[in-house]
Amino acid sequence: MVAAMELLVVLLAAYAAAGLLFGIAFAASGVERVDSLARGSGAGFRLMILPGAAALWPLLAKRWIGATGEPPAERNPHRDRAGAEP
């Protein structure tokens, strides 16, 4: 049981370290590729998104790899039923 807990702590620390490294890189340059509205944003904005980018790094890494510069189109049941294009 103790070995399992130690492994869990090591895995969480590795996730956090990878997230911190990714978050710094994403806040510095990646956010501009994912969302074109972030271009020219200041250091305050980038510091605010750093914790979220570090925590959600797998999702943001996927978005960064397939980035088009625009946020994804919103999809919800109301739009789908109405047949409206976002």
What is the sign of the dihedral through the CA atoms of 7, 53, 70 and 61?
A: negative
Answer whether 0.85 is exceeded by the pTM. Answer: no
At 74 the pLDDT is 78
How confident is the model over 19-68, as pLDDT tens digits?
A: 999 999 999 988 988 888 888 889 999 999 999 999 999 999 998 998 77
Picking from 37, 25, 21, 36, the residue whose alpha carbon sits closest to that of residue 69 is: 36
Instruction: Tell me the C-alpha distance between 21 and 27, whole Å.
Output: 10
The distance between the two most distant Cα atoms of the chain, rounded to a whole number of Å, is 54
Instruction: Tell me the C-alpha distance between 50 and 29, whole Å.
Output: 12
